Structure 1
């Protein structure tokens, strides 16, 4: 039996998360991909912009390969949440293109570095800045999945679309979801009722 290459496995999982995140934009208009859906302003296109920026840093600057694209939202004087939303002057195509540029830039790092290759994360404290490609791949993959999970919930709030990706919803479409929600809501009400808890 031939075991898969660990780096290939990590990159495969990262790519799956990337594609899941992008799929959450499909079929939505400009307003719905940009509008804040939480009290802290979380929005679908902003998540993509953030993750693209993160990848350009972690798989670029960390390994001596600066971003091929200027990232003004990372300037010293930029608002700390500037990469988490998208002004009207930045098109959806620009943000998606930025993400795909980040993928290509990362692919060059993956091709030229092994998992034990050491880099330095410039924005981390000096004592923690030395990292391996393995560490950065795990860190970035988990962050991407975290944001893909945010996107799952946001998209469901926008139009009810749910699931892992087109053609593979990872949900039982014949299931009584309305009945399930009613049971969950009833359990929450019951748990909050002091008479039922005693």
Structure 2
């Protein structure tokens, strides 16, 4: 009983956070979803591409149910990081459609297997896993990247929220300017920066 509840609960949470990731692209142009917004080049479309590759891998080859489309090798040092950004030849639609196909494949694996079904992650130091462990891992990683997407989107146009129904669509600039100034004063009062 608890196994079914845990699997259903984790799967439901994963479905919600996947949608939140894609929602962060809504209303933005091609440049804004692709442009590097951190020193390491993190960008919104790259996060979607990255999540699609790794979710396909975790719910695919880990359980002997490989995703039916080509994936780069996880151990290819030359290709490392190429899943974190989209080339000019990869369209938004292609990347989003692929992510949705990954969802279907992952969902089929989650539904078909028991929560204690064994899997094997060759790139982990302790490669013997269960579906439960992978569900938790993928949910954690997807949430982590959803947090990145939250910050990136806020940097672009001030939009915040975890889903369209909770969006702060019209940020009150005066409120946020006052709040930021308050936080800045508190930070300065706490002490000097350390070089």
Shorter-chain TM-score above 0.5: yes
Post-superposition Cα deviations, 1:57-110, rounded to whole Å, max 9, x if no partner, equal 000000001111112374725331110000011100111011101100011101
CA contact (8 A) 2:158 2:171 kept: no
The aligned runs of 1:39-188 (5 Å cut-off) are 39-72=39-72, 74=74, 76=76, 78-125=78-125, 128-169=126-167, 176-188=175-187
Aligned twin of 2:190: 191
**Structure 1 unaligned blocks of 5 or more:** none
1:188, distance to aligned residue in structure 2 (A):
1.6
Q: Does the C-alpha gap of structure 1 residues 171 and 161 become closer, same or farther in structure 2, counting only changes over 3 Å?
A: closer
Q: Which moved more, 1:4-13 or 1:20-29?
A: 4-13
Q: Does the C-alpha gap of structure 1 residues 122 and 4 become closer, same or farther in structure 2, counting only changes over 3 Å?
A: closer
Q: Please state whether the residue corresponding to 2:68 is helix, strand or coil.
A: coil
For 2:72 and 2:58, how far apart are their aligned partners in 1?
Answer: 17
Q: Size of the alignment, in residue pairs?
A: 191
Q: Please state whether the residue corresponding to 1:131 is helix, strand or coil.
A: strand
Q: Does the C-alpha gap of structure 1 residues 29 and 172 become closer, same or farther in structure 2, counting only changes over 3 Å?
A: closer
Post-superposition Cα deviations, 1:98-155, rounded to whole Å, max 9, x if no partner, equal 1101100011101210100001012223xx1110000000000000000000000000
The aligned runs of 1:9-24 (5 Å cut-off) are 9-24=9-24
For 2:105 and 2:63, how far apart are their aligned partners in 1?
Answer: 11
Tell me the C-alpha RMSD between the 2 structures: 2.4
TM-score (norm 2): 0.90
Segments of 4+ moved more than 6 angstroms: 170-175
TM-score (norm 1): 0.88
